Amino acid sequence: MSARPLPSAAPADQGVDAAGVQAFLDAVEAAPSIEPHSLMILRHGRLVASGWWAPFTPQRPHLLYSLSKSFTATAAGIAAGEGLLNFDDPVISSFPEFAADITDPRSRAMRVRHVAAMASGHEAETFDRARALDAEELVRGFLLVPPERDPGTVFAYNQPATFTLAALVQRVSGQSLVDYLRPRLLDPLGIGEVAWQRDRSGREIGFSGLHAPTDAVARLGELYLRDGIWEGRRLLPEGWVADASRVHITTHDAPVDWLGRDSMFGYGYQFWRSPHGYRGDGAYGQYCLVLPEQDAVVALTSASQDAGLLLDLVWQHLLPAFGPGPLAGREEQDTALAQRLARLALPPADGKPTPPERQHDWSGAEFTPQDGVCADQPTLTSLAVTPDADGWALTLAEGEHRVELRMPGAGWQVTEGKVPAAVSGGWTGPDTLAVAVSFLETPHRLEVTCSLPERTFTARWHTAPLSGAPLHTLRAPRSSD
């Protein structure tokens, strides 16, 4: 189904100071550790600002990383409301085929609410241990890892806990997460196509892997802000929003050294409490910020090396922009903001056209990793530069797999092939080609430099895929996969 546009309004009409949004844009674009991809701001139920930094676009699905967890929790909440899932039941009761193997009393005492709240009793992430114990069935592997503490007493950010929650929903519903959510959440919210990464057994992984446009993130946040009611219809069980967004386990003394300053306020059901409101949160700055005191939602996607700084800039610039009432005489400021949002673009990498005297030398040139293997992306085995009808093409090879890309004359050149990507850059000298490759359905950009005399290349990630995935998989899953 095609999504009905969110109702919109001028920022000033909803008490939003356009100058604060402009200051946020200035700060984000000036921060070298932040690469913004999209922004949507809703206030009082109206979309007051939205923009995408080209080559990113509104319809493009984006890998949400751990923001996927909030969609998984929403599915679990709906399942509980339908009587399919009981948050007080032991997890093992839904997996009787593992019962004989799971003998640890703490694992057997673990309840659905414990995995929903990252309070399984484990003191650290269990993914590698669980996969080592059972690579084919991660739920079993997870339950085989004995918790160090009683469930419900300690927080640990733990991917298999959310995987187990997702597996529970899929088991009790008999459907995939997307199929289960489609008539209950996605269609009523007006969310179009989304795709979710699956494990070896074919189940959606739940803790990550959801590819969805920014609009879907904004609509989920607005649904939570409205206590689960959308256009007069209750989509989430009564009381679910309050329960999911309250603190179920404290995080201020969590034994995890990477938790930033905005993660010390407690954890709900796959939502973080924030210094202001609460949020769904994904690696590299994928955010759904729900701000009840401001009656606002902020949806962000990015490729941020310092996602904490991105949140700081929200608190510094956007939060003060939410005023108590409409602002008079701000038409000029609102128009200027709308114009800026419409022309947002990431700066392209530096580079010039092929040096005329070297065109023949570059035509068909092939390159291998400078040190024998590409340390940042070991699957990348060779590159080739070839002329085509409109300029130049770049081929990234991973054994038998090829990622074919168009090279820009200027700005960003988008290739919509099997792996949607955009390339910018060019020749920085007669013997050097340097390009940036943005994989448009992810927060990842690869910076490639080719040396003609040595016939070698280097490739470095600006933000590296957390899964170490091959380049040809850096896209939303397709039904044909």
Closest-CA residue to 385 (of 410, 364, 356, 407): 364
Whole-number Å distance between alpha carbons of 73 and 94: 17
pLDDT at 388: 84
Angle, helix 68-81 to helix 159-173, in steps of 10 degrees: 40
**Residues paired with 111 in a beta bridge:** 90
Closest-CA residue to 73 (of 85, 63, 60): 85
What's at 253, amino acid-wise? D
Dump the DSSP string for 266-291: -B-SS-EE-SSSEEEEETTTEEEEEE
How many CB atoms lie under 10 A from the CB of residue 378?
12
Phi/psi for 161 (5° steps) reads -65, -45
Whole-number Å distance between alpha carbons of 278 and 102: 35
Sheet holding 382-388, edge to edge: 401-406, 391-398, 382-388, 365-369, 456-461, 444-451, 432-439, 421-429, 413-415
Closest-CA residue to 362 (of 386, 383, 389): 386
Instruction: Tell me how many degrees the CA angle 119-466-252 measures, rounded to the nearest 5.
Output: 35
- Per-residue buried b or exposed e for 431-450, using 16+ beta carbons within 10 Å of the residue's own CB: eebbbbbbbbbbbbbbbbbb
Residues 6 or more apart whose Cβ sits within 8 Å of residue 325: 15
* Whether the bond into 55 is cis, omega within 30 of 0: yes
127: helix, strand or coil = helix
Dump the DSSP string for 212-247: E-HHHHHHHHHHHHTTTEETTEE-S-TTHHHHHHS-
Encoded tokens for 349? 């990498």
Encoded tokens for 307? 């996602």
How many CB atoms lie under 10 A from the CB of residue 164?
27
Instruction: Check if the beta carbon of residue 177 is closer than 8 Å to that of residue 161.
Output: no
Closest-CA residue to 280 (of 257, 304, 259, 297): 297
44 by Cβ neighbours in 10 Å (0-12 / 13-18 / 19+) ranks as middle
One digit per residue, the tens of pLDDT, for the chain of length 481 reads 446 899 999 999 999 999 999 999 999 999 999 999 999 999 999 999 999 999 999 999 999 999 999 999 999 999 999 999 999 999 999 999 999 999 999 999 999 999 999 999 999 999 999 999 999 999 999 999 999 999 999 999 999 999 999 999 999 999 999 999 999 999 999 999 999 999 988 899 999 999 999 999 999 999 999 999 999 999 999 999 999 999 999 997 664 445 567 888 999 999 999 999 999 999 999 999 999 999 999 999 999 999 899 999 999 999 999 999 999 999 999 999 999 999 999 999 999 998 889 999 999 999 999 999 999 999 999 999 999 877 899 999 998 999 999 998 889 999 998 999 999 999 999 999 999 999 999 999 999 999 999 999 999 999 999 988 899 999 999 876 6
Residue written as token pair 């005329």 = 356
DSSP H or E run through 331: helix 331-342
Instruction: Check if the beta carbon of residue 169 is closer than 8 Å to that of residue 180.
Output: yes
The pTM of the full predicted model, rounded to 2 decimals, is 0.96
Strand-pair category, 272-273 with 233-234: unpaired
Domains of the chain (ranges plus CATH)? 11-83+166-342 (3.40.710.10), 356-473 (no CATH)
Residues 6 or more apart whose Cβ sits within 8 Å of residue 317: 20, 21, 23, 24, 27
